[in-house]
Structure 1
Amino acid sequence: MISEMQARHYIAPEIFEREQQRLFGKLWIFAGVRTLLDQPNAFLTRTIAGIPLVIQNMTGTLKAFDNQCAHRQMPLQFEEYGQRRLACRYHGWTYDGNGCAKSIPDEQVLYRFDAEQRASLCLREFAVEVIGNLVFVNVDENPIPIDQQFTEEFRTQLAGISSHFSSQAIHTRVPASYNWKLNFENVLDWNHVAHVHPRSFQPLLGAAATEPVPHAPDVANTALSSLSFSSSTQMNIRAWPWHAMTDAYGAENTYHNFFIYPNVNFISIGGVIFTIQQFDPFAADRTELRLTLMSAREKQRIAAMPAILWSHLKSEKRVIDEDKVLLEMLQTRLHAGGRAAYHGAYETRLRRVADVYLRLMGEKA
């Protein structure tokens, strides 16, 4: 079956700009992990649909604001993660829990705002939804209901697994020269594992790596919520003493996969290691892979945990690099007027993603 996706959907700058407006500017986008925002004034910064954001713990409540001072547009928080009051380093303005200017040094002498001007000195606020320990932001003025994007069953599953997160995490970012959609399509494609990862990932899955994964009927359910789902399979996981020192999720020797549309692959190895892969779009042919990796919550302090996380991150990076080489080569060969992909019977999910994507983009009724 010929794919409905054309080469232009992966290479055209105008398509990328429309995605920023109609997908990333309308959908709930994963922003970060709640366990890293537990302390007062803890924050993280992200850019979603071209909008620089700060998600900050404001007296126990997570708020998302423009990461730009209302005065001269200076970023309020510079770092990707941190703990600092919501204040501008440039001229000293500070903001309250509603994102409105709380104090302005020498306000009466230097600025002389009237009452109406003063009341307008607020940051734009954006909708936040927290599912377990996963934080989502929607930058649209009228966000769609969260259940339109994720079913209640899926949200319950996400809340359950993410409740096992430790407060320790390790992060990295990997620049890649290909379209973000290629990455989401790649993680849906179990058939590539035996060919691309024969020595790194496939041995962990054993026979499961080549067994067909059950899929729903072909494009029968075209709801947006059908694109986010979970799966699990058996995995050959070496037992380490530290595993028993954590509050692990689910059964041992199980590989859990949560596909979170539009751009997240959330996995767990044996319920003791959790990895969130996010495919951040930067241009039609440029993506940044954001990796967040953490262990299950510790029952007692594990002194070696930083080294454990670093070791798992290196293993994860090896698998990602194997995919990256091929996806970058694929991107270089896409061209205007080129042939569309041909989907086999097993690629039901890819056809469903294409169908919903084209409707969201306004190209299909």
Structure 2
Amino acid sequence: MEPDWIRSVVDADAFEHEQRCLSHVWTFLGLTVDVANDGDWLTASIATRSVFVQRFGGELRGFENLCAHRFYPLRNGARGNGRLICEFHHWQYDSEGRAVAIPHARELFDAVPAELCARLNRVEIATCGTLIFGRFAAPGVDLSLEDFLGEGLPFLHAASQIKARPQYLNRTVAANWRLCMHVTLDDYHVPAVHPTSMGRSAYVQRQNITYKAFGLHSSLLSTARTGAFERLLEGCRKGTYRPTHYVIFQITPNLTVLLIRVDFSFFYGVIVVYDALRHDRTNQRAWLFPAPFVGPYQWLRKLTDPVRKPIVRRLAQRILCEDNRVCERLQETARQMRSAPRLGRLEERIDWFENSYRQLIAEGEARMRSAEER
């Protein structure tokens, strides 16, 4: 890691620059199960900019969450259903984001809606399984979501086959989003930070786990079997994958997808995203659901899942809160950090993440320079 890695963690201007660079990167927004019906919508953010995704018939559309009139947020709340009408002055928009109904348009603006050419800022949308991703368009930004996810695609597609609305957790963390991502990439802290929630067992042995970097992203499998990563992907492609151990995929910039063993052969899926709010504030969103893979004693799920559900929720809340407290303490001392951290072999994926982050920032800066020259 570079010595100046902390700059956007403590400096608001550096953070704003960072977020502008990341606005054209595929970013996780939400789940298709939350926008299953015509008119359903959900809100999210891309690089601190509020956006919403809405279903229009069989298609999902994304827009920046600003009315073209006076920039009032069109969607307020986490999700809902309804026509695209601004609550401030009742401007109404169609599925293309065009203003199609404006009260007293000719009297007040000397034009009919079509002549005003007012429209919403479009957000590019793509899906992987039930995962919805978005980004703001820019010249030269043409990498498909499939190519962006790379080898992570088969697992994310298979692990996100969610049929019903999952449990949902939401919390504001008084820490920078990168510090939050760092703790998910750290396999050294478990006995110290999670002694009762995850056990006082011995530290993870590096030789007993598998790390894999792919593109901008990385994964951890709690097995050392040769070819475990490749077999996981092959099983996900064929529909034959059956989880036997802990799995976590970190998708740059701010998404983690996990499979965790709850009891016996039963696994849960966990999706966590860290939405940047300010240089020192992050919105953490998490979804919990029974892993969509067939396993032994599958017939027991309907009987035992109602019992398992609240237990998983309490455990997830506890673990996430323990991690969040660490991140908040790090944020408090961040201004005193004047060098790169000393990362051990159980923290090397933090360095991988920071390398990917620097690559995305460099690409964003190049786009901004190119735009200024045009």
| Corresponding residue for residue 232 of structure 1 | 221
CA contact (8 A) 1:132 1:158 kept: yes
Q: 1:45 aligns with which of 39, 43, 46?
A: 43
| Corresponding residue for residue 324 of structure 1 | 324
* 1:126-275 matches, cutoff 5 A: 126-142=123-139, 143-145=141-143, 146-151=145-150, 153-163=151-161, 165-202=162-199, 209-212=204-207, 213-215=209-211, 226-233=215-222, 250-251=241-242, 253-270=244-261, 272-275=267-270
Distance 1:45 1:353 in 2: 26
Shift of 1:296: 4.5
TM-score when normalising by structure 2:
0.79
| Corresponding residue for residue 73 of structure 1 | 71
Q: 2:287 aligns with which of 289, 292, 299?
A: 292
Deviates more, 1:129-138 or 1:261-270: 261-270
| Corresponding residue for residue 350 of structure 2 | 350
CA contact (8 A) 2:129 2:157 kept: yes
| Corresponding residue for residue 120 of structure 2 | 123
Deviates more, 1:194-203 or 1:14-23: 194-203
Question: 5+ residue gaps in structure 1?
Answer: 235-247
CA contact (8 A) 1:4 1:355 kept: no
How many equivalent residue pairs? 338
Shift of 1:21: 0.8
Which SS does the other structure have where 1:254 is aligned? coil
Distance 1:343 1:210 in 2: 15
Amino acid at match of 1:322: E
Amino acid at match of 2:122: E
Which SS does the other structure have where 1:129 is aligned? strand
Shift of 1:61: 0.5
Question: 1:236-275 CA distances to partner (integer Å, 9 max, x unpaired)?
Answer: xxxxxxxxxxxx9943553221211111111122464222
- Label 1:255 to 1:90 Cα distance change in 2 as closer, same or farther (>3 A): same
TM-score when normalising by structure 1:
0.81
Distance 1:279 1:132 in 2: 20
Question: 1:47-105 CA distances to partner (integer Å, 9 max, x unpaired)?
Answer: 22232211000121110012222222222221211111212223332221111123234
Deviates more, 1:25-34 or 1:278-287: 278-287
Distance 2:113 2:346 in 1: 63
CA contact (8 A) 1:11 1:284 kept: yes
Shift of 1:169: 2.0
Question: 1:94-146 CA distances to partner (integer Å, 9 max, x unpaired)?
Answer: 2211111232344444443157633x121111111101110000013243413
Deviates more, 1:304-313 or 1:176-185: 304-313
| Corresponding residue for residue 244 of structure 1 | none
CA contact (8 A) 2:101 2:113 kept: no
Question: 5+ residue gaps in structure 2?
Answer: 224-238, 293-297, 367-374
Which SS does the other structure have where 1:190 is aligned? coil
CA contact (8 A) 2:175 2:282 kept: yes
Distance 1:274 1:268 in 2: 5
Amino acid at match of 2:327: L
Amino acid at match of 1:232: L
Distance 2:66 2:95 in 1: 15
| Corresponding residue for residue 22 of structure 1 | 21
- Label 1:115 to 1:230 Cα distance change in 2 as closer, same or farther (>3 A): same
Amino acid at match of 1:166: K
Shift of 1:179: 1.5
Distance 1:231 1:285 in 2: 27
| Corresponding residue for residue 231 of structure 2 | none
Question: 1:202-240 CA distances to partner (integer Å, 9 max, x unpaired)?
Answer: 47xx77944543335xxxx7xxx5232343337xxxxxx
